[in-house]
């Protein structure tokens, strides 16, 4: 299983010289399974960087939730405009309103010039099953996690490698993580023993008190969560749009120092950076 980070940013695209190194596109990770199936995690503006060379293989887009930074790139995803392309969009259910209708609030007038029904591709919208299900060569496990609104986290197991994707997650909302048992820790089942954990790290510990309840995590939360779940490699994700590359370097330093204090190898904690490719399950180079 190979993953490529296409968008790293949370909340809003952040183009500019100050964000060029880690990237300014919003959340998107392209995963190619061992059988060649394409899985795209979220459809932020980074999805424009997926499949530049085109592909005829079916594409599965797994949305964690429908906040704008996770769907904004959909209308700019080239395969949607290619006749014959088969695309399935999976997302969290929310009462009686079908996923297609909820996404259609964005992909419709007056917000966009194109309606979903006008797209020439074969586009299917499905409520993501909770629990375990199969997709290509992978076993997918989806569970609701703590964020604002219906939000899923994903665990993808494929050929002895495990990737966990929790881009928007605030497990500390219910209390200090070091005082919460594993059974009360949101996301624990999804992340436990993962080879790679991609996790929300939007805030520094200094910033978090002003943003508690907004659905995101601080540096120390991610370190605590990753250690509790005993993951092999942790990727800080969903960078705050207000953080420059230089500030993100300091976030990484802080995270690695905390990680090392737990006896972990600092090299196994990193910041998401656009165009980074990771072969999930292989040791850090």
Partner 1 sequence: MSDQHPVELILARGLATNLTTAVFLVDADGTLLFFNEPAGALLGVQFEEAGPMAADEWGARFAPTTPEGDPLSVSDLPLALAIGGRAAHSSMRIHSATGEVRDIEVTAFPLAGRSGQTGALAIFWDRSS
Interface residue list for partner 1 (CB under 8 A): 92-93, 130-131, 141, 143-146, 150, 173-175, 182-186, 188-189, 192
Tokens of 215: 């659905």
CB of 128 to partner 1, least distance (A): 9
Which of 224, 213, 237, 64 shows the shortest CA–CA distance to 144? 64
CA 157 to chain centre: 16
Looking at beta carbons only, is 76 or 184 nearer to partner 1? 184
Looking at beta carbons only, is 34 or 93 nearer to partner 1? 93
Looking at beta carbons only, is 21 or 192 nearer to partner 1? 192
CB of 270 to partner 1, least distance (A): 26
CB of 192 to partner 1, least distance (A): 7
CB of 93 to partner 1, least distance (A): 5
CB of 225 to partner 1, least distance (A): 12
Per-residue HEC secondary structure of the chain comes to CEEEEEECECCCCCCCHHHCCCCCCECEEEEECCCCCEEEECCCHHHHHCCCCCCCCCEEEECCCCCHHHHCCHHHCHHHHCCCCEEEEEECCCCCCCHHHHHHCCCCCCCCCCCHHHCCCEEEEEECCCEEEEECCEEEEEEECCCCCCCEEEEEEECCEEEEEECCCCHHHHCCHHHCCHHHCCCHHHHCCCCEEEEECCECCCCHHHCCCCCCCEHHHHHHHHHHHCCCEEEEECECCCCCHHHHHHHHHHHHHHHHHCCCCHHHEEECCCCCEEECCCCCC
Looking at beta carbons only, is 85 or 185 nearer to partner 1? 185
Looking at beta carbons only, is 102 or 239 nearer to partner 1? 102
Query: Residue for token digits 């200090």?
Result: 176
CB of 62 to partner 1, least distance (A): 15
CB of 80 to partner 1, least distance (A): 27
Looking at beta carbons only, is 24 or 187 nearer to partner 1? 187
Looking at beta carbons only, is 143 or 240 nearer to partner 1? 143
């Amino acid at each position: 299983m190979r993953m490529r980070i296409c968008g790293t940013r949370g909340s809003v695209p952040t183009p500019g010289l100050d964000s060029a190194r880690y990237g300014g596109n919003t959340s998107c990770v392209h995963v190619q399974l061992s059988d060649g199936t394409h899985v795209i995690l979220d459809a932020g503006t980074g999805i424009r960087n997926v499949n530049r060379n085109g592909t005829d293989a079916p594409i599965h887009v797994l949305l964690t939730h429908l906040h704008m930074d996770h769907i904004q790139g959909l209308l700019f995803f080239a395969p949607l405009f290619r006749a014959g392309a088969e695309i399935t969009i999976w997302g969290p259910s929310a009462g009686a309103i079908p996923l297609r209708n909820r996404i259609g609030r964005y992909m419709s007038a007056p917000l966009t010039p194109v309606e979903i029904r006008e797209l020439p591709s074969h586009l299917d919208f499905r409520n993501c099953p909770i629990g375990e299900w199969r997709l290509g060569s992978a076993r997918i496990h989806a569970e609701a996690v703590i964020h604002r609104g219906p939000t899923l986290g994903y665990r993808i197991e494929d050929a002895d490698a495990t990737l966990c994707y929790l881009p928007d997650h605030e497990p500390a909302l219910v209390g200090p993580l070091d005082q919460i048992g594993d059974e009360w820790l949101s996301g624990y089942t999804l992340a436990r023993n993962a080879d790679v954990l991609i996790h929300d790290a939007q805030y520094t510990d200094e910033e978090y008190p002003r943003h508690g309840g907004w659905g995101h995590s601080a540096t120390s939360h991610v370190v605590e969560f990753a250690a509790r779940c005993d993951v092999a490699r942790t990727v800080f994700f969903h960078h705050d749009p207000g953080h420059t590359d230089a500030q993100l370097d300091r976030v990484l330093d802080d995270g690695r120092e905390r990680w090392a204090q737990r006896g972990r190898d600092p090299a196994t904690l990193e910041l998401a950076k656009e165009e980074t490719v990771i072969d999930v399950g292989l040791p850090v180079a």
